[in-house]
Amino acid sequence: MADIPLVSHIPPPDPSSTSAIPAPIPPSTTPPSIPNSKTLLAWAPLYLSKTDAVIEHLDAVLSTPAGTDNFLNAVCYTSLLASSLLRKSVEFKLHGTIKRAAQLWPKVTLRLGDSGENSRALGVAKRLKGLSGLISEIRTFGRLFGVIALWRWGRGVGVRMRTEDVDGRKDRIGEMVEASQVVVNVLYQVLENGAYLSERGILGWGKETQNWAWIWSSRFWGAHIGLDFLRLGRECLERRRRVGEGKKEGMGMGEEERRWWRQVIVDCAYAPLTVHWGIEGGIVSEFWVGVLGSVAGGMALSNAWRRTVV
């Protein structure tokens, strides 16, 4: 190997020069001081007031049926997601142990007993899944009375459709989309209610009819999601038209547009779930049900939180 020539005749650095690069100052190694009891007591009113404001806001959200359903929805799917993640973590650990053992002792039959840590994790996962199932049933029971709200919604749509077009700006297609949403939601509600009440022994539908009703109720819910995408698309076009006419100023994203995007995210998360529940056997795993449901539930709860005025 050839020798690397040494670089010589380099003048020494001049520390007195104004162009010299200052040496970096080492960061302070002094640990932050721990607040004493007097400081914590002084902070207590501030934290209590903030906690009180959050609880008061949450109480306002839960005071409406829609707000309560959004809150339960978020808890339901996040519990299911946490349960799935815990089980997957235990399976991953056991799989790694079995793989290493098979490499070391390929001819030995290995029997693994659950460790205390794995048993606790699986126990928590089971409880979280039980909580998710209980909340799902509570929400299904609460939707038994949704026909009343659908009646009011349909009546309002009918009144608007009978209103004469005075200024030529009436959205007939939008009204037809909303009317179609009312119809598919009524069909969804009737089938889900019938399947649930028959499952509980209140109605007389057989098991085969119940399964058919569960699947088709999900398909009608999927039809509602599809129509909602059409509605959101028309809202986007209408907003662009207003901007083009100079009726909306400002370059930033307004609250109306934020609400529109949040609803798009909710529908995008629900769409695969409607397909999953609308096909016998489903198409996604429990983990993805938890992920998609958590996104939709969390965003819906965020919408309810923003809409609620304390």
Q: What is the pLDDT of residue 32?
A: 60
Return the axis-axis angle of helices 255-277 and 207-244, rounded to nearest 10°: 160
Question: 194-224 in b/e burial notation, b at 16+ Cβ within 10 A?
Answer: bbbbbbeeeeebeeeebeebbebbbbbbbbb
**Residues 297 and 305 sit within 8 Å (Cβ to Cβ):** no
Show pLDDT as tens, one digit a residue, over the chain (310 residues). Answer: 444 444 444 445 455 544 445 555 555 556 666 766 667 677 777 777 788 888 988 888 888 888 899 999 999 999 999 999 999 888 877 665 555 555 555 555 545 455 567 788 888 999 999 999 999 999 999 999 888 889 999 999 988 888 876 666 677 888 899 999 999 999 999 999 999 999 999 999 999 999 999 999 999 999 999 999 999 998 888 888 777 766 554 545 677 888 899 999 999 999 999 999 999 989 999 999 999 999 999 999 988 888 887 6
Per-residue confidence (pLDDT) for residue 9, from 0 to 100: 47
Backbone CA torsion sign across 282, 288, 294, 295: negative
Write down the pLDDT at residue 221: 96
Alpha helices in 105-206 (DSSP H): 116-142, 146-162, 172-199
Q: How far apart are CA 231 and CA 176, in angstroms?
A: 10
User: In one letter, which amino acid is 247?
Assistant: K
Reported pTM: 0.74
pLDDT in the model for residue 1: 47
Which pLDDT score, from 0 to 100, does residue 3 have?
45
